[in-house]
Structure 1
Amino acid sequence: MNKPMVAYIIGRLMQIEALLLFFPIVVSLIYRESIRYSLSFLVVALVTGIIGYLFTKKQPVVKNLYAKEGFVIVSLSWIVLSFFGALPFVLNGDIPSLTDAIFETTSGFTTTGASILDDVEALSRSSLFWRSFTHLIGGMGVLVFALAVLPHMESETVHIMKAEVPGPTFGKIVSRLSKSAQILYYIYILFTIIVIAALFLAGMPLFDAIIHAFGVAGTGGFSMRNGSIAPYDNVVIEVILGIGMLVFGANFNLYFLALTRHFKEVFKSEELKWYLGFVGGAIILITVQLSMTAYGHREALRHSFFSVTSIMTTTGFSTDNFNTWPLFSRMILLFTMFIGGMAGSTGGGIKVSRVAILIKTAFSELQRNAYPNRLVSVHFEHKAIEGKMLKAIANYLIVYIMVFACVLLLISLEVDDFTSSFSAVAANFNNIGPGFGVVGPDSSYSFFSPLNKIVLSISMIMGRLEILPILILFSPGIWRKRA
């Protein structure tokens, strides 16, 4: 294990976080808040920056990084940034409990959107900004951001990118890794600005538009209103947010292809077709049932469209309490929780590509059994899927189920209701936020014990990093020197 290099990169990331903490200070000054708010962010920024400087004061002699170091750096970076990012909430008194602050900040960075706050409107403007700003930072990945602004790290970070970028495969969109990260972030910021402008023109106050655009961009779902999007009661705003969530739930490589006028490759994307198919199918099924049981056709379509896009992209905004919907509609939403967004998006979940490949594999197995002498292969994105990839996806699913079951058992010790405990784990593990039962869209996670809040915080990071980096971090012998 190259410990000096691990410490060096963590230090660089802490310095970046220290700089980012100055943004809420500016917000605090603009809104003329009590001095304790700007001081809380300033003190944490200075402490974080100093520690980061001490870690980076001496550059490591050996700069080689391997897969093991990549996993460790990714895991530690998300834990460290979540911890230091939580401290301003504790210092300014908006979230006095350190455990609660860590849960809230972890939820922000991992773009989960789960909250322990029963009254979010009581927060200061600077805290509201930092809380949602963590969505924007974590959406594309804190290490992808670091690579974009620290291009000289190029040769050392391919394993970091592989460990952090979600999905079954990793690839560069241009030859240089740092250039790929920069292009992705240009697209990311451009789309975020477009959402802010659209929301503002639709009648949402500018600060509100910024906060909710951050939630859309990171597919996180933190709102500044207790009722999420429902209090605005504006169909145009809901449509803008719904389309925005779909856009950020798609693979960002497709946007690069579109910008470089490779439209044929975009329209040929099989994963995109599956993604839109899942979303469209869920909307139709839920709309039909809601129009027959609870709403008129227009209202049913309105709430179905927004809720499906929010849950499928793992954003977590809400316009209606889907906790009260018929069981069939809730089960459709539960299935979309697990599917999640596309690989290479800011969304969580198992990912559309994995689900599509698993479905195709299941049908190919049926064909092999029905026609033993027939050669059957699984194709995805117009290419045959290698056995190594199929094995990797199957292994991921096994690990996913095992970890999910372990977290569920821990949560069930406290929540004596299967629907609530199961959906709480699903909502946090898949980085969604609201679930069903006592953790529905009109509730919070404030009633959980400190232990289970930490368990759920770890599960958020595991879900965001797709499990393996965290498991490797705690594996025996991981810190031993490389032979």
Structure 2
Amino acid sequence: MNSSIIRYILGNVMRMEACFLLLPCIVSLVYGEGVGLYYLGTAIVCLAFGVVMAWKKPKNYVFYLKEGCIATSLSWIVMSLVGCMPFWISGEIPSFTDAMFETVSGFTTTGASILTNVEALSHTALFWRSFTHWIGGMGVLVFLLAIIPLSGGSNINLMRAESPGPSVGKLVPKMKYTARILYIIYFGMTILEFIFLIIGKMPVFDSICTAVGTAGTGGFGVKNDSLGSYSPYLQWVVAIFMILFGVNFNAYYYIIYRHFKKAFKMEEVRCYFAIILIATAIIFANILDHCVSIFDALTKSVFQVASLITSTGFSSTDFNLWPQICRTVLVLIMFIGACAGSTGGGIKVSRVIVLFKTMIKELHSYIHPKSIRKVNLDGKPVEHEIVRSINVYIVTFVIIFASSVFMVAFDGKDLVTNFTAVLTTINNMGPGLAEVGPAGNFSNFSVFSKFVFMFDMLAGRLELFPLLILFHPSAWKDLISKRAEARKF
């Protein structure tokens, strides 16, 4: 295993996070909050460690998927450990476990919180917890590739380990240009949403936090009622951008370069919008009696469907009080999630499409045993390797999901709470139902359960396997054997 490249990547990640930590320091200066000193101190220590780790460049820049997965997983763990320090040492979140939970939830764009009074936090802390969504939305290693391109031609292994979806490809021949294009689109859409929010007279600070939270499909708000107290115009702006950030970014690339046919032929995107329309129609029809007007019902149904299918987690109302059919629809779209190649979470629409078509193919083979039929997506056959990986992903997802529900059950909470708490963390959603609904939070769970949820959040954001590989003995076998040989000499 090429441990030197892993060390080098971790060093660069720490240096980047140190730079990101300077932004809340600026917010602290603007609002005259002394808490910014804790962020500055953390940034200095983080920068020092990063410089030391990245000082010696690796002799060999070639690394394989194993190294890519390990580097990615360790990067997200280190980011979370460093990112939670200002919350903890400042005393704004006194418990280390809670500070870590909040930070992991931020970076993984989950939006699940242990805070009972968000508005009690300083502007500095509110900005940092929202900005972690923006960092984690597109992926810190994608950002690393965009500004510090690694040589050696193995960058695709970092993208594969961090980017959501069953398969990751290049938009342009060089990986660094693909990363830059993705971040240009990401940054541009964030700025565009910020402008629309300002037009709607949302305060500048609220607009920044909401825009970066929407872009990362995270869901941390600056108000205790999330976005419930804002005007319908602002809720529609956020809802539309949540939906847009849940679209496969390849579609935006095609549109920018005027490949309109390719963009509109993307089966996953068309299915994604169809699911949104159907779910919205069902919920709208069932909450009319619970709303003051047709427009109010439409606003709330569109907003919550957009929020949960994209795994953003903002709320405009307590949907935990809606009819059973509405809550059932919301749980189903939580499982499905957004498109692959977006900032959204969930199983992903493309996987659901391939699974459905695989099922049809198998049924057809029962009727016509001698027929040869392939699974197609966007008019092209899906490789057997991708179908196999999707099947393995679903099996692994079910195993982790069931194990997590069992482990948190020892807290003695009801099944709906436990089930949706695990669902919302592993799919990076944010709110669930019952005790973890929009009006609740995760503060009443035990320390053990919170660590289970943190594992689920990281596993869900990294598509399960990059994190699981850390627990596989053979992943570290080469490193252990090399150290053993070094000791002999």
Q: Shorter-chain TM-score: which interval?
A: over 0.9
User: How far apart are the structure 2 equivalents of 1:111 and 1:143?
Assistant: 15
1:314: Cα distance to partner? Answer: 0.3
1:294: Cα distance to partner? Answer: 5.9
Question: Are residue 334 (structure 1) and residue 331 (structure 2) matched?
Answer: yes
Cross-structure match for 2:101:
103
Q: Secondary structure at the match of 1:301?
A: helix
Kept in 1, the 8 Å contact 2:164–2:341? The answer is yes
Cross-structure match for 2:304:
307
How big is each residue's C-alpha offset from its partner over 1:113-161, in whole Å with a ceiling of 9 and x where there is no partner? Answer: 0000000000001111111010111100010011111024463422111
User: How far apart are the structure 1 equivalents of 2:309 and 2:95?
Assistant: 32
Q: Secondary structure at the match of 1:72?
A: helix
1:366: Cα distance to partner? Answer: 2.2
How big is each residue's C-alpha offset from its partner over 1:154-204, in whole Å with a ceiling of 9 and x where there is no partner? Answer: 634221111111101110100110011011101100100000110110110
Map 1:135-214 → 2, pairs under 5 A: 135-153=133-151, 155-214=153-212
Cross-structure match for 1:14:
14
Question: Are residue 120 (structure 1) and residue 118 (structure 2) matched?
Answer: yes
Map 1:19-98 → 2, pairs under 5 A: 19-33=19-33, 35=34, 37-98=35-96
1:299: Cα distance to partner? Answer: 2.4
Cross-structure match for 1:357:
354
Tell me the percent identity. Answer: 44
Cross-structure match for 2:484:
none
User: How far apart are the structure 2 equivalents of 1:299 and 1:382?
Assistant: 40
User: How far apart are the structure 1 equivalents of 2:106 and 2:280?
Assistant: 27
User: How far apart are the structure 2 equivalents of 1:111 and 1:178?
Assistant: 24
Cross-structure match for 2:418:
421
The letter for the 2-side match of 1:129 is F
The letter for the 1-side match of 2:242 is M
Question: Are residue 470 (structure 1) and residue 464 (structure 2) matched?
Answer: no
1:92: Cα distance to partner? Answer: 1.4
1:295: Cα distance to partner? Answer: 5.8
User: How far apart are the structure 2 equivalents of 1:71 and 1:370?
Assistant: 41
Q: Secondary structure at the match of 1:64?
A: coil
1:227: Cα distance to partner? Answer: 0.2
How big is each residue's C-alpha offset from its partner over 1:234-281, in whole Å with a ceiling of 9 and x where there is no partner? Answer: 111111001100110001111111010111111111111110011111
Cross-structure match for 2:262:
265
Kept in 2, the 8 Å contact 1:248–1:346? The answer is yes
1:67: Cα distance to partner? Answer: 1.1
Cross-structure match for 2:486:
none
RMSD: 1.3
Cross-structure match for 1:4:
4
Map 1:228-247 → 2, pairs under 5 A: 228-232=226-230, 234-247=231-244
TM-score computed with the length of structure 2 as normaliser: 0.96
Q: Secondary structure at the match of 2:171?
A: coil
What is the count of residue pairs matched by the alignment? 480
Cross-structure match for 1:255:
252
Kept in 1, the 8 Å contact 2:109–2:219? The answer is yes
Q: Secondary structure at the match of 2:258?
A: coil
Kept in 2, the 8 Å contact 1:147–1:153? The answer is no
Kept in 1, the 8 Å contact 2:61–2:152? The answer is no
Cross-structure match for 1:400:
397
| Worse-matched range after superposition: 151-160 or 470-479 | 151-160
User: How far apart are the structure 1 equivalents of 2:388 and 2:224?
Assistant: 44
User: How far apart are the structure 2 equivalents of 1:103 and 1:269?
Assistant: 36
**Counterpart among 274, 292, 306 of residue 277 in structure 1:** 274
Kept in 2, the 8 Å contact 1:415–1:421? The answer is no
Kept in 2, the 8 Å contact 1:420–1:439? The answer is yes
Kept in 1, the 8 Å contact 2:102–2:114? The answer is yes
5+ residue gaps, structure 1: none
Q: Secondary structure at the match of 1:151?
A: coil
User: How far apart are the structure 1 equivalents of 2:365 and 2:201?
Assistant: 57
Kept in 1, the 8 Å contact 2:161–2:466? The answer is yes
User: How far apart are the structure 2 equivalents of 1:71 and 1:138?
Assistant: 16
Kept in 1, the 8 Å contact 2:311–2:337? The answer is yes
Cross-structure match for 2:130:
132
Kept in 2, the 8 Å contact 1:70–1:160? The answer is yes
Q: Secondary structure at the match of 1:481?
A: helix
User: How far apart are the structure 2 equivalents of 1:383 and 1:418?
Assistant: 42
Kept in 2, the 8 Å contact 1:10–1:52? The answer is yes
Q: Secondary structure at the match of 1:170?
A: coil
Q: 4+ runs of 1 displaced by more than 6 Å?
A: none
1:287: Cα distance to partner? Answer: 0.9
Cross-structure match for 1:376:
373
User: How far apart are the structure 1 equivalents of 2:90 and 2:469?
Assistant: 35
User: How far apart are the structure 2 equivalents of 1:282 and 1:418?
Assistant: 24
5+ residue gaps, structure 2: 482-489
Cross-structure match for 1:324:
321
